[in-house]
Amino acid sequence: MIAPSILSADFARLADEVAAVRGADWLHVDVMDAHFVPNLTIGLPVVEALRKVTDIPLDCHLMIDDPDTWAVRYAEAGVHNVTVHVEAAEDPVKIAKDLRAAGALAGLSVKPNTPLEPYVELLRHYDTLLVMSVEPGFGGQRFIPDVLEKVRAARRLVDSGELTVLVEIDGGINEETIERAAEAGVDCFVAGSAVYGAPDPAKTVAQLRRLAAGASGRS
């Protein structure tokens, strides 16, 4: 699965930029509040507007201080997958239950330096695991290869039946890094500048999918 990140899109032409990634599996939307991360992007009104102009399922990544209050509102707005950060959530189990009750998938994200092991039991309440392969906050950063050990650990837990999460990765994904991430066990790849910096974003989405499928070893 390929999820283009509109963080790298032209915000003045969002409807056109969304249309340019036809064939994408999800559309990744980074919500930042300038508190949890040192950047301010978009919020619920823009997400609601995006829902009106695309059939691509929205994948909202909430990099915000108070996901306990805000996460369910994105689910109620029709977002397909709502991801919160374990480092910010006060009651992540309740968040997951509220998101599912509102009709969304529940996602949990971990920063590059956050270990996976303390949160394995918590992940049983979630549908997706988002492994950050850059420090959250800004697009266009270089991929941190060390996080792939975390991906491999998650893949083993999924393959053994201990977890049922979809494994997603975000940060520095491009034609040079996607195969390594696929080999490690990623299911869904967030790509921003690699897609929106290309002459033909839709063609790049298809190419990234081919590279990931060829390297994955899984159907």
pLDDT digits (tens, 9 = 90+) for 83-130: 999 999 999 999 999 999 999 999 999 999 999 999 999 999 999 999
Specify the amino acid at residue 96. A
Query: How high is the pLDDT of residue 136?
Result: 83
CATH topology of domain 2-216: TIM Barrel (3.20.20)
At what angle are helices 44-53 and 67-76 packed, to 10 degrees?
A: 20
For the whole model, what pTM was predicted?
Answer: 0.95
Query: How high is the pLDDT of residue 13?
Result: 96
Q: Is 172 left (phi over 0), alpha (psi -120 to 50) or beta?
A: left
Beta bridge partners of 2: 189
CB 10 within 8 A of CB 17: yes
CA separation for the pair 92, 35 (Å, rounded): 19
Sheet holding 58-63, edge to edge: 2-4, 188-191, 166-170, 128-132, 105-110, 81-85, 58-63, 27-32
* Whether residue 25 lies in the annotated active site: no
Q: What are phi and psi of 192, to 5 degrees?
A: -105, -80
Query: How high is the pLDDT of residue 218?
Result: 61
Which of 30, 33, 59, 127 is catalytic? The answer is: 30
Tokens of 168: 């997603």
CA separation for the pair 122, 137 (Å, rounded): 24
Query: How high is the pLDDT of residue 219?
Result: 45
Domain range summary for the chain, segments of one domain joined by + = 2-216
Using CB atoms within 10 Å of the CB of residue 112, give its burial: 0 to 12 exposed, 13 to 18 middle, 19+ buried. Answer: middle
Helical (H) or strand (E) element with 106: strand 105-110
Specify the amino acid at residue 207. Q
Which of 33, 59, 127, 170 is catalytic? The answer is: 170
* pLDDT beneath 70: ranges in the chain: 218-219
* Whether residue 30 lies in the annotated active site: yes
Q: Where do we find the tokens 């997958």?
A: 81
CB 112 within 8 A of CB 144: yes
